[in-house]
Structure 1
Amino acid sequence: RYLVVTTFETVLAEAGLLPSGVLRLRSDIPIARGLGSSSAALLAGYDLGRAVCGMSRDEKGAFSLALKHEGHGDNAAPCLYGGLRGVTLTASGPVVVDLHLSDAVGFAYAAPAVGLETEAARGALPEHVPHKTATASLGRLVALVRGLAEGRPDLIHAGVNDDLHVPYRLPLIPGAAAAMSAGMDAGAWAVTVSGAGSGLIAMCEPGEAEKVASAMKDSFTSITGDSESVGFSVRPDLLGLQRLEG
């Protein structure tokens, strides 16, 4: 069942209410494509339930719910608070860190018609990695965070290189390697697997985002032969979860 519905019903049940009626949902987030659709659904269902019950926002409760369900807060934090966020797990609980994101960085997204379930993507990862690989990844993360903050293509390119998950998940995505090359040829600074996949996310000049997305989409379509591949430019949402009056 939809995560929005199950979370919504859980909130109402805790308030002693029985849901009745029709709930219409609309989402532009592709499912199982590495864009955090499950976190968005969980947070939306939770806050909608509270709104129906006449309760105010509970960001701590919403984030805790998503963290428990997802096992991490990487998607829930930006979805809830907006912008670029990091999450550090401490003994006293998760700490959400607000990171600067330069408006000089554009983003392009593309995905094949077939999705990649998170469970399968996680199952492809090794349980252990060499110490050298782990330390190198920390160094790249520093470069990536600074590159995104300052809009520096060189740091973004260096920071996106990954040995922790991309080599293991890329073979699970039909046509992904060729689509990444197509994105780079179209002007991207860097391309990598978006979330757990099956989508790809590219960083580039904002004015080049549509061209990069189209190139990656066309590559997916050409290789897989499926016309249902998607590709579009994306802009960061700086507001996060909002309640809109009907």
Structure 2
Amino acid sequence: MTDTNGKDAADQAVADLERELGLPKGFFNGLVHEDDWSFVIKLHALFESALAFVVAHKLGEKVAGIIGRLDMNGQRGKVAFARALEIVGDDEVRFLALLSSLRNRCVHGVRQTVEFSLPGYVEALSRDERKSFLRAVRGDEPDRRITIGDKTVSHTQFVLENPKLSIWLSSMWLLAALYMLKEIEDHVRRRERALIELATLKTPPAPNPLLIALSGKAGDSGGLMGFAAPDGDKG
């Protein structure tokens, strides 16, 4: 599959997820045009809903309300459930932890609504914090050169210079993967049901022991349910 085909498939998966969550069409694509504060807040809320949806689908719709009320993080949070169910791995957990950290920074005081910016956040990071940020956004893959238009830069440079777009792109792939996991689960369940139905059709029904016993009694006595016919009816 080419990168273009992969992007198209991811776009469609995200659109299908939006529909399942009852969101307006194009909600995710519109986030990249929001100011940085709104971008972080809305993206975090989207992941909260997406995780609740996928985890509840895995465990059964009866627990959807319970899962929806869980916090995002913590030992009993949505991310912990998703990790335990192998819906997300270590890379995804790191990314979601970064997103939650950004969200918490955004809601810490009203000044953040006008002062928060992702470039400013990255600029203020220490060397070790910057490494953690890069690892959360692009995973553990080796640095590589990427070409955008007529400019070629390292992936690291691109992420540091375009933190918002980089987070949005990572979010697109993760949201698409979450939805595809749900679709795979549906496919497996449908296949299992089909196999069970096929096996049921091919397997003769087991004889009913009660009917066998009753049939034997009727044959021995000449009457149904083991009752002999009255003497007057014997002819």
Judge same fold: TM > 0.5, yes or no: no
- TM (norm. structure 2) is 0.29
- TM (norm. structure 1) is 0.28
Q: Which has the higher strand share?
A: 1
Larger radius of gyration: 2
